[in-house]
Structure 1
């Protein structure tokens, strides 16, 4: 029997951490409810039939008669989409390695914002603008939880 592969993740502040396995397909949902819940043009979600919280637990908002959404009550990070009677979906970008769950299908494309189709073709800022902003960005000290499990958070030991 093969051993399960667990992937971990959590919220931005580190109050909630999870590990999950037995994944379904990863998708992009363009429905209006997902847009509002994540504050973005779509939700990247993946079903996790085996989801376990290793630090803290999410609060929930009942977003419809069939769906509740889990989030961190400390920092507000959206964590789950839980459809009644189904395994929960987790938000892909809360995973420590979100690149391991590339979306394979889009849902609710009839509600997709038209400008989403042009995002890949939009220009980035110029090299000159990037250079001008470099000092500004270099001065930022992140208080975000790192993309790996920690024994405690906020971090007490700088080597952690």
Structure 2
């Protein structure tokens, strides 16, 4: 993939802060029109990294996932799935209880592995940050198109 934006990576999502036992982060480091490349990095009770491509339609789908998680806020055990059934690494997020989710990363195509972690601290600040991260990625993908 040839990059048309700067080398600075941006995060599409981050579950777990610097003091969290578990963290799952999607860091994008290469951009071109309508496409970004990066890695989902997992640390804590398990660790690993999965390279992945993220298309502009995936960004729209992530916004929809955020909207649905934000609306429910764990009251009904709601869950969302990002890129489920697609030929890509999937991310499933399920509310466990207030401000705590279980995030499952599944790679059905190459590694054939699935990792689940409980993450705390999913509150108003987390959602504000999540939408800001998404908007930053949209801007980088748009910038690559210029």
Fold equivalence (TM over 0.5): no
Q: Which has the higher contact order (CA 8 A, sep 6+)?
A: 1
- Largest Rg, 1 or 2: 1
Instruction: Specify which structure has the higher proportion of strand.
Output: 2
